[in-house]
Amino acid sequence: MRSLSPCLWFDKNGEEAARFYVSLLPNSRIDHVQRAPADNPSSKKGEVLVVDFTLMGNKYQALNGGPNFKFTEAISLSVTCDTQEEVDRLWAALTADGGKEVACGWLKDKYGLSWQIVPARMFELLASPDAGVSKRAFEAMMTMVKLDIAAIERAAKG
């Protein structure tokens, strides 16, 4: 075996989505664009069929498979951020142009793909050996849409 990578099903805009995603995240790039060698149910000969791309060092594929399947929350991309500025930047970019805020650090981008934008500090507080700290941090997170590190830390302190 050579590799394992998630394949994300798009209608016709897989290349556009992949280029957008790689523009947002470090250590990301378009690796290869495969055009359809012949007409098929989702594309004509010469149209983009599959885009191999890397996000933060992880391999993905975008398949222009047609309109038959849509994204659900059953799959999401989770990004752990070190700072509130990173959370804010990604949140703004991914909710722009038709993206939608959901809850608890979740959003849907303009392509319908779900993302979790989570501060590393959230995971640290949830792993606290002090059950009160982790409970208060969790309860604060549950009231938020975009996660706010400072507010979560204040809640965790009690």
Give the per-residue pLDDT at 25: 98
Give the per-residue pLDDT at 5: 96
Beta partners for 29?
Answer: 54
Q: Are residues 119 and 48 in the same domain?
A: no
Residue-by-residue DSSP string for 25-83: SSS-EEEEEEEPSS-BTTB-TTSEEEEEEEETTEEEEEEE--TT----TTSEEEEEESS
Q: Which CATH number belongs to the domain containing residue 134 in this structure?
A: 3.10.180.10
Q: Are residues 147 and 76 in the same domain?
A: yes
Q: Are residues 62 and 77 in the same domain?
A: no
- pTM (two decimals): 0.95
Range of the domain at 83: 71-158
How much is the average pLDDT of 124-149? 98
Give the per-residue pLDDT at 136: 98
Tens-place pLDDT, residues 4-48: 999 999 999 999 999 999 999 999 999 999 999 999 999 999 999
Q: Are residues 139 and 80 in the same domain?
A: yes
Give the per-residue pLDDT at 55: 98
Q: Are residues 27 and 52 in the same domain?
A: yes
Tally the domains of the chain: 2
Where does the pLDDT of residue 151 fall: very low under 50, low under 70, confident under 90, or very high at 90 and above? very high
Tens-place pLDDT, residues 116-129: 999 999 999 999 99
Tens-place pLDDT, residues 43-91: 999 999 999 999 999 999 999 999 999 999 999 999 999 999 999 999 9
Task: Give 148-155's long-range contacts (Cβ < 8 A, gap of 24+).
Answer: 148/84, 149/83, 149/84, 149/87, 149/119, 149/121, 149/122, 150/84, 152/119, 152/121, 152/122, 152/125, 153/121, 153/125
Q: Are residues 19 and 81 in the same domain?
A: no
Give the per-residue pLDDT at 155: 98
Sign (positive/negative) of CA torsion 118, 94, 57, 49?
positive
Domain endpoint, select from 25, 44, 69: 69
Domain endpoint, select from 69, 92, 113: 69
Give the per-residue pLDDT at 26: 98
